[in-house]
Copies of this chain bind each other. A is one copy, B any other.
Amino acid sequence: MSGTPAVAVFASGGGTNLQSLLDTFGSDGSPDPAARIALVVSDRPGIGALERAERAGVATAVVPPKEYESKDAFAAALLAVLDEHGIDLIALAGYLKLVPEAVVQKYRGRIINIHPGPLPTFGGTGMWGHHVHEAVLKAGVAVSGPTIHFVDERFDTGPIIAQWPVPVRDDDTADTLAARVLKYEHRLYPAVLRALARGEIVWLEGQRVRRGPFGGRTAGFRLADEESSLASVQPAWSESGL
Please give the residue numbers on chain A whose beta carbons come within 8 Å of chain B beta carbons, in ascending order.
Answer: 32, 34, 118-121, 138-143, 145, 147, 159-172, 184, 187, 191, 194-195, 200, 207-225, 229-230, 233-234, 237-238, 241-242
Contact = CB atoms under 8 A, between A and B. Distances in A.
A224 B220 contact: yes
B221 A220 contact: yes
Contacts of A162: 142
B169 A215 contact: yes
A224 B145 CA distance: 10
Contacts of A168: 216
A170 B202 CA distance: 11
Contacts of A213: 237, 241-242
Contacts of A234: 187, 191, 219
24 contacts: A32-B238, A118-B121, A120-B121, A120-B139, A120-B141, A121-B121, A142-B162, A142-B218, A143-B163, A164-B224, A167-B217, A167-B218, A168-B216, A169-B215, A169-B216, A170-B215, A172-B216, A195-B241, A200-B241, A212-B241, A219-B233, A219-B234, A220-B223, A220-B224
